[in-house]
Amino acid sequence: MDNKTVKNRTEIVILITLLMMVAEIFYGITSHSMGLLADGIHMGTHALAFIVTLVICIIIQKHQDKSTKLNALGGYTSSILLGLTSLGLIWESISRFFNPLSISFNEAIFVAAIGLIVNILCIFIMGGEEIHFNKCCLECEEHKHKDKNLNFMAAYMHIVADAFTSVLAIIALFCGKFLGLVFLDPFIGILGGIIIGKWAFNLMSSSSKILIDLE
């Protein structure tokens, strides 16, 4: 995907993400749902990551000859943000085991479902040309990505991570509402944090190799 297309699509995704972030954080606090609140916080960090992607795209327009390194820099920066998101989710989820709160399940499920729909919309907006490439980076570190757009890949990965978190939040909320398994809310938060952390590590590994000329 060319730099101009990434820039235009990222601008749209930033606006959508910021709007949904405000809604999820508000209802996460009022409904006392860790999964929903975490999802809203994730959207904030993802919005920051999208801004990083946008800034890199703007810089590349003036420095086309350095696009490979700049895209890797965008990917590396976003991987740090994704890693911090993972740690934050794990920390907050663990704290809920010791300080549980009552959850307004109906409101939480409704807003989490909207969040998932928004994430799916953003995935389609960003495009699917790099889906196989992203799948490789999420699962392993053996592929060579020097000619790939790691800046785009990082933004895409943030959306996928947020959609993944939304799905986990919905599962936990349904189990809590209908089965009384309220403990699943923080437990699934920890599980999601660990998986997202692995994604962040793989992205950091791929981008750092390009930055220090190992690929």
Question: Which residue's entry shows tokens 């999802």?
Answer: 39
pTM: predicted TM-score of the whole model, two decimal places: 0.75
Cα-to-chain-centroid distance, residue 128: 16
Q: Which residues contact 174 (CB under 8 A, 6 or more apart)?
A: 109
Residue, of 107 and 14, whose pLDDT is higher: 14
Q: Give me the CATH number covering residue 9.
A: 1.20.1510
**pLDDT (tens digit, 9 = 90+) per residue, 134-182?**
444 444 444 454 556 788 888 888 788 878 888 888 898 898 889 888 8
Whole-number average pLDDT of the chain: 80
Q: In total, how many domains does the chain have?
A: 1
Residues with Cβ within 8 Å of residue 147, at least 6 apart in sequence: 68
Contacts of residue 99, defined as CB under 8 A and 6 or more positions apart, other chains included, come to none
**What pLDDT was estimated at residue 76?**
92
Under 8 Å between Cβ of 1 and 152: yes
Specify the DSSP element, H or E, that contains 166.
helix 150-179
Per-residue confidence (pLDDT) for residue 132, from 0 to 100: 45
Rounded to the nearest angstrom, the gap between the alpha carbon of residue 50 and the centroid of all alpha carbons in its chain is: 10
Average pLDDT, stretch 178-194? 85
Sign of the C-alpha dihedral, residues 74, 77, 80, 86?
Answer: negative
The pLDDT assigned to 147 comes to 53
Span 94-120, average pLDDT: 81
Range of the domain at 128: 3-211
Q: Is the dihedral of CA 195, 201, 204, 210 positive or negative?
A: negative
Q: What is the pLDDT of residue 149?
A: 79
Residue 63 has phi, psi (to 5 degrees) of -135, 65
pLDDT in tens, 37-64: 766 776 777 788 889 989 999 999 888 8
